[in-house]
Amino acid sequence: MRCIGERVTGGRPQGGKADYDLLVVGGGINGVGIARDAAGRGLSVLLSEKDDLGAATSSASSKLIHGGLRYLEQYEFRLVAEALAEREVLLATARHLVWPTRFVMPHVPELRPRWMIRTGLFLYDHLGVLAVSRGTRRASLPGSRGVRLDRPPLASGLRPHFRHGFEYSDCRVDDARLVVANAMDARARGARVLTRTECVSALRERGLWQVALSNGESATVRAIVNAAGPWVKQLLNDRLRQPSRDAVRLVKGSHIVLPALYAGEHAFILQNDDRRVVFMIPYEGRFTLVGTTDVAVEEAASPQATAEEVQYLCRAVNRYLAKPANVADIVWRYAGVRPLYDDGTSDPSAITRDYTLRVDDDAGAAPVLSVFGGKITTYRRLAEHALEKLAPYFPGMKGAWTAAVPLPGSDFGDAGRERARAALEARYPKIPRATLGALFRRHGTLASAVLGDAARVADLGEDFGGGLTECELAYLAAREWASSADDVLWRRSKAGLHMSESQRARVAARMCR
């Protein structure tokens, strides 16, 4: 339901015969990443998202910026190396949305021998360093090591017979907000971003695409990027009437959220007896996020975490937990559909997580580039690769630029995260630190744009609970395309998790006012 919110415009067409250089279909992480990169290279960009930004797969992930330790077992060295290098880039350019975490793997000799895990971790540490040192950065995260699980600080929550384990570094991310930050930067660089606007059809005519959108607009564009995620093939075949030899495999993954299952800020990577791994990740201060599953599905719309998946996840963590997780304790569950490139593998867990970009054109004009697969972790690099492939159609286009430019809110300069947060506290001395801390985590340096000239708590307007106030809600609607309660409660923030049913209903009523 769309109740409030604005259509934010910008980025007028640059002349020539087409209204826009590029139409990006899909406002998930890959679509907004490509739109941002293209706008920064001087292309005029229109982005159409049929729902909310990040509403599909990009807000339903495990929320990790990671190389993917388990992909080493599938020999995905290219993907792991690229993802580890991107981890460093995102740590530097999305500093308020990405943060390092230590991951602990309890040792279970009958599942994987010690030498195998040590070898995997050695590779993980060194692939990262190699990939990073080929660029200009140095690896900033500590390497892996063996740990004792029966002593502080890790002796919490696990059954006492798990005495040995390993720990290594990866990162966590606010996935939905990473999408919004990219869209905001795309807009700031001239892109026109339309949410709740579906690309209904596009046809090639005299070397251009003639596009129809669900808001009644039509436009001519020089090129299309098909970043429709789970709908990539459907868009190509049904809306653009393009045959394609590539196929996408839809693999659902579900997560559950429970009151904290253990103390500490480390995450666990738990080996399951089907050779998969399941994560337990500290979440939103007082919860644990548990995921995920791999279930082949036919349909992309409205995925649900089934009772069977929930049981599977509880069983997987209860092999390890001293105090078992109960289905009755689950406070939230969500599911997403991975749009994986079909590499012919039958096991859904083993299908490649790497991406494939396919360009098709009409005698050298009117290209469509389709994105198959990909990870949140690699979205920025994927965008660079996409624009490399489109470069021949835009001879004057500028070069790659996103590796060193912070996303909106992450421009801490040399000050660093703590100094930037301290500056916010100094500017708003009468606003409680907890409120400022939550705003800073969501908006980084843009927290002051949310607060404006608010001097005291009363200036923030109604307190909806869960750390959400009228002041922030108005900002989310005006600047971040939020137009429904779900946009606000489960994507722009996770306030919904901290609220009662009646508090959530109050936000829904406010959004429809």
Ligand X SMILES: Cc1cc2nc3c(=O)[nH]c(=O)nc-3n(C[C@H](O)[C@H](O)[C@H](O)COP(=O)(O)OP(=O)(O)OC[C@H]3O[C@@H](n4cnc5c(N)ncnc54)[C@H](O)[C@@H]3O)c2cc1C
Site residues (vs ligand X, CB under 6 A): 25-31, 48-51, 55-58, 60-64, 198-199, 227-231, 235, 239, 253, 292, 336-339, 371, 374-377
Write the CA distances from 234 to 11, 26, 244, 300, 440, integer angstroms: 28, 13, 10, 10, 39
Among all residues, whose Cβ is closest to ligand X?
28
Could you tell me the smallest distance in angstroms from the CB atom of residue 339 to ligand X?
Answer: 6
Indicate the residue among 262 and 341 with the shorter CB distance to ligand X.
341
Could you tell me the smallest distance in angstroms from the CB atom of residue 378 to ligand X?
Answer: 7
Could you tell me the smallest distance in angstroms from the CB atom of residue 190 to ligand X?
Answer: 20
Pairing mode, if any, of strands 64-65 and 463-465? unpaired
Indicate the residue among 150 and 347 with the shorter CB distance to ligand X.
347
Indicate the residue among 54 and 409 with the shorter CB distance to ligand X.
54
Indicate the residue among 37 and 49 with the shorter CB distance to ligand X.
49
Could you tell me the smallest distance in angstroms from the CB atom of residue 125 to ligand X?
Answer: 19
List, in sequence order, every beta strand (DSSP E) within 91-228.
98-106, 145-148, 164-173, 192-194, 199-205, 208-213, 218-226
Indicate the residue among 139 and 228 with the shorter CB distance to ligand X.
228
Indicate the residue among 70 and 107 with the shorter CB distance to ligand X.
70
Indicate the residue among 79 and 497 with the shorter CB distance to ligand X.
79
Could you tell me the smallest distance in angstroms from the CB atom of residue 65 to ligand X?
Answer: 6
Which secondary structure element, helix H or strand E, spans residue 93, and what is its range?
helix 77-93
CA 28, CA 504: separation in Å to the nearest integer?
A: 25
CA 318, CA 429: separation in Å to the nearest integer?
A: 45
CA 382, CA 225: separation in Å to the nearest integer?
A: 12
* Dihedral pair phi/psi, residue 307, rounded to 5°: -60, -35
Write the CA distances from 294 to 251, 281, 308, 340, integer angstroms: 6, 18, 12, 12
Residue 313 contacts by C-beta under 8 Å, 6 or more apart in sequence? 254, 255, 256, 278, 290, 291, 292, 293
Could you tell me the smallest distance in angstroms from the CB atom of residue 188 to ligand X?
Answer: 20
Which secondary structure element, helix H or strand E, spans residue 367, and what is its range?
strand 365-372
- Compute the radius of gyration of the chain from its Cα atoms: 23
* Dihedral pair phi/psi, residue 317, rounded to 5°: -80, -30
Could you tell me the smallest distance in angstroms from the CB atom of residue 340 to ligand X?
Answer: 8
